[in-house]
Amino acid sequence: MNVIDRAKNMNKYRKIAMELSKMIYEAENKAKTVKVLVKGDMNVKSIEIDPEYVTEIRPELLQKTIREVVNMALNKAKIATQKETKKLAEEMGLNLPM
């Protein structure tokens, strides 16, 4: 691969990285009382908690629920990022294990 092709691939990678960072991934618990939005750059955009849920649950269970929902949202973002990275790597002729 020559220098021009590498530069094109890097530009494509940057574009995909920017697009991924704008993507929003959502997760919520089964009761739909805690909802988390995570951006593709793995930053938490928001955490929404039903106010009634807060008054009805013990703090340690609320913490556990928040942690689980955050991890679900982050996992969705991670999987999407891995798929796009693998796709780009294949286009660049690289064989990356995922």
pLDDT by residue (tens digit) across 21-31?
A: 888 999 999 99
Kindly indicate the confidence band of residue 1, based on its pLDDT and cuts at 50, 70 and 90.
Answer: low
List C-alpha distances in Å: 46 to 26, 29, 39, 43, 81: 10, 15, 9, 9, 19
Torsion 35-40-41-42 (CA) sign = positive
Residue 57 to residue 32: CA distance in whole angstroms: 14
**Where is pLDDT greater, at 11 or 34?**
34
Kindly indicate the confidence band of residue 98, based on its pLDDT and cuts at 50, 70 and 90.
Answer: low
Residue 23 to residue 49: CA distance in whole angstroms: 22
Give pLDDT, residue 97: 62
54-67 average pLDDT score? 94
CATH numbers and ranges of domains, the chain: 3-91 (3.30.1310.10)
Least Cα distance to 16 among 76, 74, 81 occurs for 81
List C-alpha distances in Å: 16 to 56, 62, 92, 94, 95: 43, 36, 13, 16, 18
